[in-house]
Amino acid sequence: MLGAYEPADVGWLSLLPPLVTMILALATKEVIISLLMGILLAATIYVVKTHRGIVDIVQVLFDILGSRVSSNMYMCLFMFLMGSLVQLMSKAGGTRAFGEWSAKIVKGRKSAIFFTFLIASTLFLDDYFSIITVSAVMRVVLDRNQVSKPKSAYVIHTMAGSMCILIPISSWAAVVITQIGDCGIKKPFNVFLGAISYNIYPVLCFLLILFTTFSGIDVGGMTTYEENAIKGESANDGSVMVIREETKESEMGDGKVLDLVLPILVLIFFSVLFMVYLGGGFSRKKPIQQIFADSDTGQAITYASFVTLLFSLVLYVPRKLMTFLEFMEETKQGMKSMIDTFLILVLAWTIGGVSGSLLKTGEYVGDFIVKCSLPLAIVPTVIFLVGALLTFALGTTWAGFSVLIPIVCNICKQTDIRLLVPCISACLCGSVYGDNISPICDNTVLVSSCIRCQYIIHVKTEAVYATTVAILSLVGYIIMGITGGNHLLSMGIPIALELVLFGILWIIRKTNCIVRHAMSSRKQATEAPLLESQPNTVVVV
């Protein structure tokens, strides 16, 4: 489909569509309209640059849209199948039973968030898979323990991308290792393993999640949403996404905990099985990283979700948790619940496609780096920032990987190969940061839908935490460039700075508590004499 269109060099104009989309989305909170405006702007820039007719704007728009849906077909199918599976687990009563069971184990907000953190840390195969699975398992638990929607979305979203760049057998790792090898670097797997030890951003993210969880200290808008959740007022603050078709508790079956746990385990098992199968792991002996590199993650998890759906049919219908007709109806309702998410995702993919494929945003940014002739000491820092910019602008972490990794490898081969591992780490971490703050990123859309959090509120609240960690990470990459990759200093100083920040926040909170207590005591002391001086009043009936 894209073969009919030649990419156009438009320079800095290629950055306008995603920038306009972001500004409109944050200002109006109308995500779909904002994405459409960004896509129209991108298509218009392309048509004007290539001297096409006005009518071609619509043709370009729909050709790119169709191409993006086609290339992401398996992810679309997976999303709809998972929508059905979540709906079926709820209808069968498995979700309610799991919530009641978890109430005996997970007691309080801190336990609920920490339990979510632990589960997310084990689901590192793929970011989509992690977001949807963790949300399906933990959403009810988090709601029951009065954790706000923005906080739930922040934890799940942050963990999904962070885990994928820390584990060498994830879908992300497989692609990155392959790209490094394609650049002529020997032993690319060892390069990725080395980069893991320099991945400052995810480590600092984990520490921040744990600190905010156990201290109860939040910053920015998250503070308000957390306070409202504790008071039971989340429904009135605009943070909760209203779903048209949700199963009421009175309509649920008498399911058990296993009615949620078994389908999830089946999904995980068959996801791994199909990834190994599609990667050629059963046909011949191959290294595990090569199997995952050759596999198609989207295809594998789609097959696995379909098998899980069939398993659910056998699990629920014979036990009369629902009839066959109810099973089919709930399957349809689950798919319908994902339509809004599907629409936003398709539009986000489309703006990324027009900007990336036709307006050559990635090439423009990459050429800019090469032409700048940067001092080696700041190369890791610049790579981190550019990786974040590309992911932020194009709405996918793959943008940062595909554009920057070849540039990083060439720069390091020609200058100082010792910087290769730190620069690969900077590329990965910068891309994950961009994923965490981008309003047009697919993961942002997905986690908002799965956890039932208003989209723009999730973007605003997570950006504060992610940017705080990114600033500390930049300190590490600056040290990395200056010291030639000194591991102890580049990792130790950012962690120490984050711990100092935690201490400052804790002191501020304690000080505020003391001040509030003193003001409350003074108010009571001043009101007491007034009450005593008032004459007794006799009420005559």
Q: Which residues lie closer than 8 Å to 454 by C-beta, 6 or more apart?
A: 149, 238, 239, 240, 241, 448
Element (H, E) at 61: helix 56-71
pLDDT greater than 50 at residue 77: yes
Across the chain, how many H-helices and E-strands are there? 24, 0
Q: How confident is the model at residue 111 (pLDDT cuts 50, 70, 90)?
A: very high
Contacts of 344 (CB under 8 A, 6+ apart): 31, 32, 35, 445, 455
- β-sheet bridge partners, residue 453: 240
- % of the chain beyond a pLDDT of 90: 29
User: Both ends of the chain: CA-CA distance in Å?
Assistant: 88
* Beta-ladder partners of 179: none
In this predicted structure, the answer to whether residue 530 has a pLDDT above a threshold of 60 is no
Express each pLDDT in 394-422 by its tens digit.
777 876 777 788 888 877 877 777 888 99
- Domains of the chain, by residue range, sit at 8-71+341-454, 73-206+220-335
pLDDT above 80: residue 31: no
Nearest by Cα to 494 from 251, 201, 189, 232: 201
With a CB cutoff of 8 Å and minimum separation 6, the contacts of 425 are 195, 196, 198, 199, 200, 380
Enumerate residues 6+ apart whose C-beta is below 8 A from 335: 80, 81, 83, 84
How many whole angstroms separate alpha carbon 22 and alpha carbon 509?
33
CA 457 – CA 451 distance, rounded (Å): 13
Q: How confident is the model at residue 539 (pLDDT cuts 50, 70, 90)?
A: very low
Point out which residues pair with 465 in neighbouring strands: none
Instruction: For residue 445, give every residue at least 6 positions away whose Cβ sits within 8 Å of its Cβ, in sequence order, or none.
Output: 341, 344, 345, 348, 455
Give residue 529's pLDDT. Answer: 61
Kindly state the average pLDDT of the residues 77-93. 88
pLDDT in tens, 97-108: 887 888 788 888
Give residues with Cβ within 8 angstroms of 473, minimum separation 6: 200, 201, 204, 384, 429, 433, 494
User: Looking at residues 49-69, what average pLDDT do you find?
Assistant: 85
What are the residues whose beta carbons fall under 8 Å from the beta carbon of 464, sequence distance 6 or more?
A: 219, 220, 221, 222
238 by DSSP, 3-state: which?
A: coil
User: CA-to-CA distance for 352 and 346, rounded, in angstroms?
Assistant: 10
* C-alpha distance from residue 495 to each of 164, 420, 481, 492 (Å): 21, 22, 17, 5
Q: What is the pLDDT of residues 141-187, one digit of tens each?
A: 898 899 999 999 999 999 998 998 898 877 788 778 878 887 888 88
Residue 126 has pLDDT above 90, yes or no: no
Q: Which residue has the higher pLDDT, 209 or 253?
A: 209
State residue 532's pLDDT score. Answer: 57
395 close to 351: Cβ distance less than 8 angstroms: yes
Averaged confidence pLDDT in the chain: 84
Task: Give yes or no for a contact between 452 and 240, defined as CB atoms under 8 angstroms apart.
Answer: yes
